[in-house]
Amino acid sequence: MSDAYMRLEFDKAGNIRFRGLPSICADTLMRLPDILASDDPAVRLRLLPETYRDPQDRDDWRKYAVPGLEHLFADRVEIIARDLVSLAEDGENLFEMAIPAAHRTAWLSALNAARLTLYVEAGLDPEDVELEPGDLEDFDQDVALMRIHLLAFMQEMMLEGGAGFRVDSDEPGGDHQ
């Protein structure tokens, strides 16, 4: 009998392997590239917020900072999509997936972006996030809430397992100059 619970393993190099992922979790992971590609203006405003109050400063920010951030976000989507190729059934109706150590920053950030995107697109309120899946009457909102919690659980496992951000991140233009 297999260990039928979701867990995370590290090897000596810091590479991660998620094991025991239920099918709903695998389904949510497979949707990540699409979730992260959202062109909803409200999502875009949340992920690329108005950082300055002054109109001229805002224009400068959009001109000089936003293109680099957009490029970084797009690179992360590519990394996530590439790693998702490793998502596979383990023969026990559960799934497993490998994340290279150098992709940890991309994954932690992308999981956060996906959770924010789901929250904004579903029109959830701050109080909704405190609820459990099944508590919301609206089906689409309830599914979004469930996915937000699932991705949070994965994020928590990575953070609590010591998988902080990596200085030797693969990210082009990196977050860690």
In the complex, least distance from residue 141 CB atom to another protein, rounded to whole angstroms: 14
Burial 74-110 (b: 16+ CB within 10 A, else e): ebbbebbeebbeebeeeeeebbbbbbbbbbbbbbbbb
In the complex, least distance from residue 88 CB atom to another protein, rounded to whole angstroms: 27
Query: Applying CB under 8 A, which part among 6-14, 19-27, 57-65, 86-94 lies near another protein?
Result: 57-65
Q: Which of 6, 32, 47, 122 binds another protein (CB under 8 A)?
A: 47
Residue 123 within binding range of another protein, rule CB under 8 A: no
Residue 135 within binding range of another protein, rule CB under 8 A: no
Where residue 40 falls (left for φ over 0; alpha for ψ -120 to 50; beta otherwise) is beta
Between 10 and 52, name the residue whose CB sits nearer to another protein.
Answer: 52
What contacts 13, CB < 8 A, 6 or more positions away?
A: 101
Counting other chains too, the contacts that 68-72 makes at CB distance below 8 Å and 24 or more residues apart are: 68/173, 71/172, 71/173, 72/171, 72/172, 72/173, 72/175
Residue 49 within binding range of another protein, rule CB under 8 A: yes
Between 7 and 176, name the residue whose CB sits nearer to another protein.
Answer: 176
Q: Which of 83, 97, 101, 109 binds another protein (CB under 8 A)?
A: 109
Residue 75 within binding range of another protein, rule CB under 8 A: no
In the complex, least distance from residue 51 CB atom to another protein, rounded to whole angstroms: 6
Q: Which of 19, 103, 115, 147 binds another protein (CB under 8 A)?
A: 115
Question: What does 107-160 look like in DSSP terms, one character per residue?
Answer: HHHHHHHHHHHHHHHTT--TTGGGSPTT--SSHHHHHHHHHHHHHHHHHHHHHH
Binding site for another protein (CB under 8 A): 46-53, 57, 61, 65, 68-69, 72, 108-109, 112-113, 115-116, 119, 125-126, 129, 148, 152, 155-156, 159-160, 164-165, 175-176
